[in-house]
Amino acid sequence: MKYVDSAQVQKNMGGRLRTNQIMKILFLISTLIGLVVLVVLFYRVLADGLGWINMNFLTNRLSVDADRAGIMGAILGTLWLMLVVAPVTMFLGIGTAIYLEEYAKKGRFQSFIQTNIANLAGVPSIVFGILGLTVFVRGMGLGNIVLAGGLTMALLVLPIVVVASQEALRSVPQFLREASYGMGATKWQTIKKVVLPAAIPGILTGVILALSRAVGETAPLTVIGIPALLIPFPDSILDKFTVLPMQIYYWTIDSALVAEYSNLAAATIVILLLILLIMNSIAVIIRNKFQKRF
Amino acid sequence: MDNEQNRDLKVREMIQQNKQNVSLNSVTEKLMPRFLFVVAIISIITTIGIVITLLTETVHFFRDVSFAEFFTGTELSPLGSDAEFGILPLVTGTIISSTIAMFVAIPIGLMSAIFLSEYASEGVRRTLKPLLEVLAGIPTIVYGFFAFTFVTPLLRTIIPGLEPTNILSPGLVMGVMIIPMIASLSEDAMSSVPNAMREGALALGATKLETTWRVVIPAAMSGIVASFVLGISRAIGETMIVTIASGSSKNFTFDVTQSMQTMTAYIVEVTGGEAPAGSTLYYSLYAVAMTLFVFTLIMNLIAQYISKRFREGY
């Protein structure tokens, strides 16, 4: 006796199976739309900008003359900015994560800080710019220098570092801590010599991702008031500065006036994306190579 | 004899030293939690700092401009002697650009999530998902450039009446930018639906589509809706794309082919113009930023509430 008549099943389910197939193709197309835009964007930027990248472009100062304009100042500005953002955000982010994961008692206060960090991550970056303008630039009278921009950016990317570090600390198994206590180590010794070394790949990955966010961020710096003028190269964290995204911004909005500025913007985008690609590759390598599975 | 005494002394020294070490250790042991507590407090101080700066300056603003004028005024012309400070043009600009973005991001993001979570093989998923996430890692300024120099000219060949700066193009590009966020969060929510539920539906004769639509999506609804809300919040706070591609005319209009200004773009324009501190124009910056902050905060709280309250435990 035949239990299932496949012809009958086909007949009954045919329409539904066909809908399933059609929708599957639709879902695939949707997924590909994002990727197509990505390819067009990359193609567009490379086609416009690649021809403009040469040694002069990389090492020259800014100039109103498109043929002589270079982005050395913006590259140096980005580096100086990172010299402020990296230590500040690492110190605050890792410290907060250690407190939350290792010391804080599970309770209202801990979940209050946790909720606060989640909300901070959702605050628009431009609002951080307003905070920086009010507190660092005007309140402390720093002016629009690297230090003020860096502190603002450090607070902006802080939640990324905290969350990544917390996850890294949480993934260190309890038995490592217990073994350390068993050997007579104190809590801080255990954290310093056992937990942190085990968690460091995850923490570093988070830090690099946070920094790459800071490298590409523009909005808070426009609020702080980074000048479009030609300024000397920054030599310390107390100098005025510009960064790559700001340069892209000014060249893009001025491309209506001088057509070549659009190419300069595209060329700067290529450099910016290259820097981000390198940073993200380092993060991936660290994660894959050093992350131990317990 | 002498030797023994010497050794005895050394042991004493060692004990002494050890005691010192222990006391030093116990000091660090006591200080470290307090020190780290202070560090952890900084994130709260940051939030308080944001709220206080916005509040105090907003209060100044409302000494010059009435509540009613600000929240119901349809005219915004902050410069000149007869300045008008109605926020409605900025609010409509923000809502329209976010709506356009959501029209792109929600269907495409959700369908991508369905494909990645339900249809794609493990290998395909592992290649496509990181590629999609590259979209999320591209700085917004690059999207701004793309919208202004590529999407707008392209749209102008299709829609002849489109202005060189308009709200449509940045809205669409913003939507593309938010796709990976919605796709990724929704996919996480759908992947966490246990396989037993899928198997149950399939065993009853449902097709994969029916299983997804009637079983997986309802089960993952809280995560999916939370991802939409977070996407909206992201769109409201997005700055550079709209600043570059939508211009700065403060029209009170619903015509997407026209230039409109969002709240974020207004903040960039006013600060970029170096508004003198103490002027109404300067304070208007904070009033607008406060409104923006409240908008996004409400969205984020809703998202958190939804994902906590309606999470189904399996």
Q: What is the reported pLDDT for B224? A: 94
Clarify whether residues A151 and A239 are in a common domain. Answer: yes
Q: What is the reported pLDDT for B314? A: 59
Confidence class of residue B94 from pLDDT cuts 50, 70 and 90? very high
Clarify whether residues A196 and A139 are in a common domain. Answer: yes
Has residue B307 got a pLDDT over 90?
no
Has residue B179 got a pLDDT over 90?
yes
> Which residue among A27, A159, A212 places its CB closest to the CB of B115?
A27
Are A30 and B119 inside 8 Å of each other by CB?
no
Confidence class of residue B211 from pLDDT cuts 50, 70 and 90? very high
Range with top average pLDDT, A52-61, B102-111, B204-213:
B102-111
Clarify whether residues A19 and A112 are in a common domain. Answer: no
Average pLDDT over residues B186-196: 92
Has residue A69 got a pLDDT over 60?
yes
Q: What is the reported pLDDT for A1? A: 55
Residue B80, Ramachandran bin (φ over 0: left; ψ between -120 and 50: alpha; else beta): left
Average pLDDT over residues A18-47: 92
Domain of residue A83 covers 58-290
Q: What is the reported pLDDT for A291? A: 65
Among B39, B141, B211, B238, the residue to mutate for chain A (most A Cβ within 10 A): B141
B145 chain-A contacts, CB cut-off 8 A: 45, 248, 252, 265-266, 269
Average pLDDT, rounded, for chain B: 88
DSSP string of A193-209, one letter each residue: IIIHHHHHHHHHHHHHH
Select the more confidently predicted residue: B191 or B307: B191
Minimum mean pLDDT range among A117-126, B49-58, B277-286? B277-286
Confidence class of residue B311 from pLDDT cuts 50, 70 and 90? low
Clarify whether residues A252 and A191 are in a common domain. Answer: yes
CATH number of B76-309: 1.10.3720.10
Instruction: With respect to residue A201, please indicate whether it lies within any of the assigned structural domains.
Output: yes
Are B50 and A128 inside 8 Å of each other by CB?
yes
Query: At residue A278, what is the residue type?
Result: I
Q: What is the reported pLDDT for A65? A: 75
Q: pTM for this one?
A: 0.89
Q: How far apart are CA B168 and CA A268, in angstroms?
A: 26
Has residue B1 got a pLDDT over 70?
no
Chain B residue closest in CA terms to A159: B43
For helices B280-309 and A108-122, the axis angle rounded to 10 degrees is 120
Confidence class of residue A44 from pLDDT cuts 50, 70 and 90? very high
Q: Are B55 and B290 in contact (CB under 8 A)?
A: yes
Q: What is the reported pLDDT for B49? A: 93
Confidence class of residue B81 from pLDDT cuts 50, 70 and 90? low
Instruction: With respect to residue A1, please indicate whether it lies within any of the assigned structural domains.
Output: no
State both tokens at A253.
């909005």
- Tell me phi and psi for residue B166, to 5 degrees: -150, 170
* Short-list B219, B296, B159, CA closest to A122: B296
Q: Are A173 and A294 in contact (CB under 8 A)?
A: yes
Instruction: With respect to residue A42, please indicate whether it lies within any of the assigned structural domains.
Output: yes
Collapsing DSSP to helix, strand or coil, B84 comes out as strand
Q: What is the reported pLDDT for A71? A: 86
Are A20 and B289 inside 8 Å of each other by CB?
no
Confidence class of residue B2 from pLDDT cuts 50, 70 and 90? low
B169 to chain A, closest Cα gap in Å: 14
Give per-residue pLDDT as tens, B109-142. Answer: 999 999 999 999 989 988 888 888 888 889 999 9
Q: What is the reported pLDDT for A147? A: 93
> Which residue among B32, B107, B132 places its CB closest to the CB of A35?
B132
For helices A260-290 and A196-216, the axis angle rounded to 10 degrees is 170
Instruction: With respect to residue A92, please indicate whether it lies within any of the assigned structural domains.
Output: yes
Give per-residue pLDDT as tens, A242-252. Answer: 899 999 998 89
Give per-residue pLDDT as tens, A4-23. Answer: 777 777 777 788 888 999 99
Q: What is the reported pLDDT for A181? A: 92
Within an 8 Å CB–CB cutoff, is residue B230 touching chain A? yes
b or e along B97-119 (b: 16 or more beta carbons within 10 Å of the residue's beta carbon)? Answer: bbebbbebbbebbbbbbbbbbbb
Query: At residue B133, what is the residue type?
Result: E
Chain A residue closest in CA terms to B46: A155
Q: Could you state, in order of their start, the residue ranges of all structural domains in chain B?
A: 2-64, 76-309
Q: What is the reported pLDDT for A233? A: 83
Confidence class of residue B235 from pLDDT cuts 50, 70 and 90? very high
Average pLDDT over residues B157-182: 91
* B residues 275-304 lying closer than 8 A (beta carbon) to A: 277, 285-286, 289, 292-293, 296-297, 299-301, 304
Q: What is the reported pLDDT for B248? A: 79
Minimum mean pLDDT range among A22-31, B18-27, B42-51, B226-235? B18-27
Has residue A234 got a pLDDT over 90?
no
Clarify whether residues A134 and A274 are in a common domain. Answer: yes
Q: Are A185 and A249 in contact (CB under 8 A)?
A: no
Give per-residue pLDDT as tens, B244-298. Answer: 998 878 888 888 888 889 999 999 888 866 667 778 888 888 999 999 999 999 9
Number of domains in chain A: 2
Please enumerate in sequence order all residues whose Cβ is within 8 A of that of B175, keeping only pairs 6 or more positions apart, or say none: B100, B101, B102, B103, B104, B105, B108, B235
Clarify whether residues A43 and A180 are in a common domain. Answer: no
Clarify whether residues A32 and A69 are in a common domain. Answer: no
* B residues 236-275 lying closer than 8 A (beta carbon) to A: 236-240, 243-244, 264, 267-268, 271-272, 274
Average pLDDT over residues B206-212: 92
Query: At residue A53, what is the residue type?
Result: I
Clarify whether residues A37 and A167 are in a common domain. Answer: no
Give per-residue pLDDT as tens, B222-232. Answer: 999 999 999 99
